[in-house]
Structure 1
Amino acid sequence: MNAEIIFLRLLHIVPGFIWVGGIIFFAFVLQPVLLKTGSEHFAPVMQKLLKPMQALIHSSAWMTIIFGLAMAFRVRDPLFDFLWSTNWGIAIVLGFVTALVGYGLGLISGRYSKKILAASALSSQEPEVWDLQNRSMLFSKMSALFVVLSVVTMAIAQHI
């Protein structure tokens, strides 16, 4: 393995670790705990946390995707024949697709989180806020599951 591939792998894996870890923390730790504390704590914490958390998750996701694509184009020749004619290639493509689906589900969750903050400013809309919180949590968990599935698929690609 040459230095370029090692460098690309590090630039792919480290942001991927941050992306997946951040999503898992948000979906399975932070959101459930905030929901248990009640709406009086949920909105203030989310107002402070949402913007930096989304910046970290989005930048890590994009770095992971971009450097993963760069690595795929460097690792094999001819790439597209190799992606469709080998188990490794099919696993990499499936991992890429599940990562994109996970990212998309995370975007939906983020949009619900922004709606929660807007709706929680109006205290008379408690049932609507509760519904938005449940939807946000559902999409966060689905996003986390898809990105974990992506990691598993790509991690076992060279062994199938």
Structure 2
Amino acid sequence: FVLQPALAKTGPPHSGALMTNMVKPLSILLHSTAWLTMVIGVIMAFRVRDPLFDFLWSTNWGTMIWLGFLFAVVGYAIGTSGSLSSMKVLNIGRSLAGQPPSAEQAADIGALQKRAMLLTKIAALLVVAAVVTMALAQHV
């Protein structure tokens, strides 16, 4: 929502270099925090006193928690797909080695960038939905 429009304004000479240096560290950060959050959530579910997890299926609180977890996992999967599209754009950019892209490569880059932007926005909305759903669980 913020970074992509700013990169689009800088233009191809600068956005490629910025993305090359930012995608890998951001991917590592986002993947590690997503996995850490999901693993800790599962550990917390195991620490609840009911060993059969009946509370997840028989209470409104449990329904909200597993629904939020489902939103988070689906958001992670969609975000990973968007990340793969961004990596394809970077690979095309590396193969160009400073040369201007052909018409076919430019079309591929544009399509992959649009796909990556759409998927990451959907993933972000799903993660927000997961947080809101889990936060509201205590009030239902």
Give the TM-score normalised by the residue count of structure 1: 0.79
CA deviation map 1:68-97 (0-9, x unaligned): 111111134145211000000000000000
Supply the distance in 1 between the matched residues of 2:32 and 2:52 (Cα, whole angstroms). 26
What CA RMSD, in Å, does the superposition of the two structures yield over aligned residues? 1.2
In the other structure, the counterpart of 1:20 is none
Give the equivalent residue in structure 1 for 2:124: 144
Distance 1:79 1:157 in 2: 20
In the alignment of these two chains, the number of paired residues is 133
The answer to whether 1:126 aligns with 2:102 is no
Q: 1:149 to 1:76 in 2, by over 3 A?
A: farther
Corresponding residue number in structure 1 for 2:59: 86
Contiguous gaps of at least 5 residues in structure 2: none
- Tell me the equivalent position of 1:97: 70
TM-score (norm 2): 0.89
Q: Deviations over 1:4-32 (max 9, x none)?
A: xxxxxxxxxxxxxxxxxxxxxxxx11122
% same residue: 54
Q: 1:64 is matched with which residue?
A: 37
Q: 8 Å contact 1:105–1:140 — kept in the other structure? A: yes
Give the secondary structure class of the aligned counterpart of 2:50: coil
Q: Which of 6, 11, 16 is 1:38 aligned to?
A: 11
Bigger Rg over Cα: 2
Give secondary structure in 2 for the equivalent of 1:116: helix
Instruction: In structure 1, list runs of 5 or more residues that go unmatched.
Output: 1-27
More helix by share: 1
Letter paired with 1:146: L
